[in-house]
Amino acid sequence: MKVYNYTVIFEPAKEGGYDVIVPAIPEICTFGETLKEAKAMAEDSIRCYLESALKEGEPIPEDKEPSVERIAVRV
């Protein structure tokens, strides 16, 4: 069994909870009511994606670390 590591972004949703973004696997779309639930959903979604890719003989995506910066804008 191999361990894969992916960068995951937990973005607070307007209606509450967290949207989950996996930059290396944009097909993943999941959500959690709490940060703990969002982390569990992210792990499950990534696992399902990887299991499917391995079963189908598709390549496993490499992690992508996003560049995040705060930019000041004067208006």
> What are the tokens at 67?
């560049």
Domain extent at residue 19: 1-75
The phi, psi pair for 48, rounded to 5°, reads -60, -45
Q: Is 24 in contact with 61 (CB distance < 8 Å)? A: yes
pTM reported for the whole predicted model: 0.88
Q: Is 57 in contact with 51 (CB distance < 8 Å)? A: no
**DSSP for residue 27:** T
CATH no. for residue 67?
Answer: 3.30.160.250
Number of domains in the chain: 1
Could you tell me the pLDDT band of residue 32, with boundaries at 50, 70 and 90?
A: very high
Measure the CA–CA gap between 4 and 45, rounded to whole angstroms.
Answer: 13
Does the pLDDT of residue 1 top 90, yes or no?
A: no
